[in-house]
Structure 1
Amino acid sequence: MTARFSPALKAILFDLSGVLYIGTQAIPGAVDAIRRAREQGYTLRFVTNTASQSSEMILQQLHTLGFDFSPSELFTAPKAAKAYIQQHQLRPYCLIHPNLKTEFTDIDQTDPNCVLLGDAQDGLNYHTLNQAFNLVEAGFPLIGIGKNKYYKDAEGFKLDAGVFIHGLEWASGVEAIITGKPDRAFFEQVVASTGFQSEECLMIGDDVIGDVQGAIDAGLQASLVRTGKYKPSDEALLPENAHILHSIADLQF
Structure 2
Amino acid sequence: MAQTVLLDVSGVLYQGSRAVPGAVQALSRLRAAGRQVRCLTNSTRQPKRRIMGKLRDLGFGIQPEEVFTPVAAALAWLERTGHSPHLLVHPALEEEFQDCKGGGPPAVVVGDAGPAFCYENMNRAFRVLLEGAPLLALADNRVFMDEDGRLSLDAGPFIKALEFASAAKPKLFGKPDPEFFRAAVASTGCSPQQAAMIGDDAESDVAGALAAGLAAGYLVRTGKYRDGDETRFDPQPTATAADVLEAVDRLLAQDGA
TM-score range, shorter chain: over 0.9
SS at match of 2:187: helix
Q: Indicate the residue corresponding to 2:137 in structure 1.
A: 144
Aligned amino acid, residue 62 of structure 1? L
Q: Is the 8 A contact 1:93 1:112 kept in 2?
A: no
Q: Indicate the residue corresponding to 1:3 in structure 2.
A: none
Q: Indicate the residue corresponding to 2:220 in structure 1.
A: 225
SS at match of 1:66: coil
Q: Residue 240 of structure 2: which of 223, 237, 244 is its match?
A: 244
Aligned amino acid, residue 228 of structure 1? G
| Offset, 1:241 | 5.7
Q: Say whether residues 1:170 and 2:164 are aligned partners.
A: yes
- Which whole-Å deviations, capped at 9, do the CAs of 1:229-248 have from their partners, x for residues lacking one? 00113122253462211101
SS at match of 1:167: helix
- Which whole-Å deviations, capped at 9, do the CAs of 1:39-80 have from their partners, x for residues lacking one? 110000011011011111011100100111211111001111
Q: Is the 8 A contact 2:218 2:237 kept in 1?
A: no
| Offset, 1:173 | 1.7
Q: Is the 8 A contact 2:201 2:225 kept in 1?
A: yes
Q: What's the RMSD between the two structures over aligned residues?
A: 1.3
| Offset, 1:218 | 0.5
Q: Indicate the residue corresponding to 1:62 in structure 2.
A: 55
Q: Is the 8 A contact 2:135 2:170 kept in 1?
A: yes
Counterpart CA distance in 1 for 2:120 and 2:147 is 29
Counterpart CA distance in 2 for 1:241 and 1:104 is 35
Q: Indicate the residue corresponding to 2:185 in structure 1.
A: 191
Q: Is the 8 A contact 1:207 1:224 kept in 2?
A: yes
Unaligned runs of 5+ in 1: 1-7
Q: Is the 8 A contact 2:206 2:237 kept in 1?
A: no
- Which whole-Å deviations, capped at 9, do the CAs of 1:162-187 have from their partners, x for residues lacking one? 11001111112221001110001111
Q: Is the 8 A contact 1:49 1:78 kept in 2?
A: no
Q: Residue 8 of structure 2: which of 3, 9, 15 is its match?
A: 15
Q: Is the 8 A contact 1:149 1:160 kept in 2?
A: yes
Change (3 A) 1:112 1:96: farther
Counterpart CA distance in 2 for 1:43 and 1:111 is 39
Counterpart CA distance in 1 for 2:102 and 2:145 is 31
SS at match of 1:9: coil
Change (3 A) 1:241 1:22: closer
How high is the TM-score relative to the length of structure 2?
Answer: 0.92
Percent identity between matched residues is: 40
Q: Indicate the residue corresponding to 2:32 in structure 1.
A: 39
Counterpart CA distance in 1 for 2:28 and 2:140 is 30
Q: Is the 8 A contact 1:147 1:178 kept in 2?
A: yes
| Offset, 1:108 | 3.2
Unaligned runs of 5+ in 2: 253-257
How high is the TM-score relative to the length of structure 1?
Answer: 0.94
SS at match of 1:53: coil
Counterpart CA distance in 2 for 1:245 and 1:80 is 30
